[in-house]
Amino acid sequence: MINKLVIGTRSSQLALWQADYVISRLQEKYPELKIEKRLMTTKGDRVLDAPLAKIGGKGLFTKELENAMLSGDIDIAVHSLKDMPVVVPEGLIITAITSREDPGDALVSPEYKTFAALPAGAKVGTSSLRRKAQLLHARPDLDIRDLRGNVNTRLKKLEEERFDGIILAAAGLKRLGFTDRITDILPKSMVLPAVGQGALAIEAREDAKEIREMLDFLDDKETRACTEAERAFLATVEGGCQVPVGVYALPDEEGGLKVEGVIASLDGARLYRDAVQGPAADCMKLGRQLAEKLLDAGGREILNEIGIEV
C-alpha cells in the first residue's frame, strides 16, 4: 500500500477545513499513512476586485491544483464540488464525492430575522449570478451588490460595508463553526442551489489506481448520483460556475431521483423552472433531459443574451 500522500488545497480557512476533514478520514482508516498538505493559491483567490463572472474562464479555483497533480507535485486535490468545472482535464478524474452537507443558501443579517423581513430596498451582498437572479425574481425591490472574498472576509464586509444581509452557502458557514450566524435558510422553492453545493470532490490522476482504491470509501454513492445529475444539467446548458442557473437533485420516495432546475435572466424578470424524476441509475440522463426542457422553454434565449451559445 502507498505509505505517503501529498494533498493539495487552497489556503482559505474553508478549503483548509475541507482538506483536514479528508485527512482525518484517511488517518482513521490508514493510521500508518503519512500525509503532507500542500497549500496553493488559485486565480479565483488572487483576483478579488472583480465579479467572478467578469474574470472569465473555467477552473478559477481548481486549475493550479490540477496542473500540480498532472506534473506529479501533488497526488490528490480537495475541492468544493461547486467550484469544479463540468469538464475535468484529461488525465484527471473526480475519484470521490463525499456525503453532502446542507446544500442550501443562507441569509446572514445583523438586524433582520428572516429573508421575508428584509425591507424594500435592502442592500444584500452575494458573489453569485445564480443567487442574484433568483433573489431578484422573488424580491425585485432588493439592492443586490457584488460581494467577493472567503467566508471570513464576507462576514467582515457585512458590518464594514453596512449590508442589510449577505447570502452564503450554508455548508461553508456550518463547517467553519458559524452556524449561529445563520439568520435564515432560503427555501429551495425560491432559490435553488449551485451544482454540487455542500459536497466535497477529491480529484486524482486517472492512472493512480492504488490511490483511487484507497479513496473509494469516501465516495458517497447517493451524493454522487445526485451531483452527477446536477453536473450533467450544467454541462448541457454550457455553463461554468457563474451562470444564472440553479439545480438540485435528491432521492425520491421510490428510490429514484427528483431533479429540479432553474434558468433565470440576470435581472430576475424571466425565470424558467421545472423538474424531472426517474431512476437514480439514469442520473446523468435526467440532468440532460431537464436542461433541454428549460432551454426549450426559454432558457436558451436567456443564455444567448449573456453570451452563452447553447
CATH number for the domain including 149? 3.40.190.10
Confidence of residue 240 (pLDDT cuts 50, 70, 90): low
| % of the chain at pLDDT higher than 90 | 83
Q: For residue 80, give the C-alpha cell.
A: 468544493
pLDDT level of residue 43 (50, 70, 90 thresholds) = low
Same domain, 18 and 82: yes
Q: Flag whether 253 is in a domain.
A: yes
- How many beta carbons lie within 10 A of that of residue 30, not counting itself? 16
- Mean pLDDT of all residues in 7-33: 95
Specify the pLDDT at position 112. Answer: 97
User: Would residue 226 count as lying in a domain?
Assistant: no
Q: In the structure grid, which three cell numbers stand for residue 165, read together?
A: 444581509
Q: Are strands 123-126 and 143-146 parallel, antiparallel or unpaired?
A: parallel
Cβ proximity of 253 and 130 under 8 Å: no
Mark whether 173 and 239 lie in a shared domain: no
| Residue 54: pLDDT over 60 | no
Q: Could you tell me whether strands 165-169 and 105-108 are parallel, antiparallel, or unpaired per DSSP bridges?
A: antiparallel
Please count the structural domains in the chain: 3
Question: CATH number for the domain including 246?
Answer: 3.30.160.40
- Residue 246 pLDDT greater than 90, yes or no: yes
H-state helical runs in the chain: 13-29, 43-46, 52-55, 63-70, 129-138, 151-160, 170-175, 209-215, 221-236, 283-294, 300-305
Verify that 95 and 109 share a domain, yes or no: no
Is 145 in contact with 163 (CB distance < 8 Å)? yes
Residues 212 and 269 in one domain: no
pLDDT confidence tier of residue 46, bands split at 50, 70 and 90: low
- Residue 281 pLDDT exceeds 80: yes
Of 302, 274, 298, 304, the C-alpha closest to 286 is 274
- The verdict on residue 58 lying in a domain is yes
Residue 300 has pLDDT above 90, yes or no: yes
| Residue among 83, 102, 105, 184 flagged as catalytic | 83
DSSP codes, 50-81? S-HHHH-SS-TTTHHHHHHHHTTS-SEEEEEG
Rounded-to-integer distance, Cα 152 and Cα 76, Å: 26
Are 203 and 72 members of one domain? yes
Rounded average pLDDT over 5-33: 95
Within a domain: 264? yes
Question: 273-291: string of b/e by CB count within 10 Å (b at 16+)?
Answer: bbebebebebbbebbbbbb
Looking at the structure, do residues 111 and 243 belong to the same domain, yes or no? no
C-alpha cell at 81: 464540488
- Say if residue 137 is in the same domain as residue 92: no
Give residue 234's pLDDT band: very low, low, confident or very high (50, 70, 90).
very high
Mean pLDDT of 151-175: 96
So what's the pLDDT on residue 255? 84
> Which has the minimum average pLDDT: 11-25, 34-48, 136-150, 194-208?
34-48
What does the pLDDT read at residue 55? 45
Label residue 104 left, alpha or beta by phi (over 0 means left) and psi (-120 to 50 means alpha): beta
Residue 193 resides in a domain: no
Alpha carbon distance 269, 104 (integer Å) = 22
- Residues 20, 66: one domain? yes
211 and 154 in a single domain? The answer is no
192 assigned to some structural domain: no
206 within some domain: yes
Whether residue 227 lies inside any domain: the answer is no
pTM reported for the whole predicted model:
0.91
Q: What is the chain's mean pLDDT, rounded?
A: 92
How far is the C-alpha of 41 from the C-alpha of 44, rounded, in Å?
8
* pLDDT over threshold 60, residue 57: no
pLDDT (average), residues 63-90: 93
Examine the domain organization and report whether 8 and 94 are in the same domain: yes
Domain range enclosing 84: 4-99+199-219
Q: Poorest-confidence range of 40-49, 61-70, 170-179?
A: 40-49
- Residue 45 annotated to the active site: no
Return the percentage of the chain with pLDDT > 70, whole number. Answer: 92
